[in-house]
Amino acid sequence: MGPGVFEYIFVALVCFFASFVQGTSGFGSALVAMPLLLIVLPARTATPLCVLMGVIITVDLTRRLYRHIDRTGLLLLGAGCVPGIALGIYLLGNWNDALMRRLLGVVLACYAAWSLFVRVPKVSPGRMWGLAAGLATGTLGAALSTGGPPAIIYCTLQAWDRDRMKATLSAFFLFTGSVTVMAHWVAGFTTATVLKLFVVSIVPVLLGTWLGTVVYDRMSEHGYVRVLLSLLLIAGLLLVIS
């Protein structure tokens, strides 16, 4: 039996809220949406739905911030993520994801809490860290639809302003999301049910993204970084208890 009216309404509301979060911060739609969607949907429906939703959001954000993209950082993250997506597709079809989610949640919560309360220097991590962050992002994104944190940590350590961080993250997530959508389609995870739920979510996603960008335009540099870290902390805790 497919989703009923309640499930469609619930998904639309979750997608609106998740897109608002990403419109504000540049990431976080899947981290917010996945624990909530899993209340009414199986993981193999929620994951490809979140990826499709993320593509809509990142197209809009990348268009708005295109001139601020750091192309070197984007290339490093992109080069690392392609093999990671292949690994993530394998894990989605073959692994029980409960332990993976909890381990990821513990790491995220510890990093975010430390960064919020301890002044973290901008260390300009080298090229290998960019590739490693891309690999981890591709794997986690394809397997759990929660790939953002490694790339976010990499970007927050760079000596970038908020526009460069958000623009680079948005462009990178657009690339990874597009590749993952194709991989999910080939692997058979993008079912008719997923597509119906996606159609219902398009308008809420666009509205949420627009409202989030309005809030972002009113934020300070320091406030933006604290929002990123706070979302990582919340996401980590949600993954641990979900």
**What is residue 183's predicted lDDT score, i.e. its pLDDT?**
81
25: number of Cβ within 10 Å:
25
**Residue whose C-alpha is closest to residue 27's, from 141, 126, 106:** 141
Q: Are 2 and 119 in contact (CB under 8 A)?
A: no
The token pair that represents 237 in the structure block:
């805790």
**What is residue 207's predicted lDDT score, i.e. its pLDDT?**
95
Q: What does the alpha-carbon distance between residue 62 and residue 46 come to, in Å, rounded to a whole number?
A: 24
Q: Are 78 and 209 in contact (CB under 8 A)?
A: no
Q: Give the largest Cα separation in the chain, rounded.
A: 52
C-alpha distance from residue 207 to each of 8, 28, 61, 163, 175 (Å): 17, 16, 13, 21, 22
Q: What does the alpha-carbon distance between residue 4 and residue 8 come to, in Å, rounded to a whole number?
A: 6
**What is residue 130's predicted lDDT score, i.e. its pLDDT?**
86
- What is the block-wise mean pLDDT of the chain (242 residues), using blocks of 10 residues? 79 92 81 81 86 90 90 89 81 67 74 72 72 85 72 82 87 84 85 91 93 87 77 78 72
**What is residue 10's predicted lDDT score, i.e. its pLDDT?**
92
Map out the domains of the chain as residue ranges: 5-241
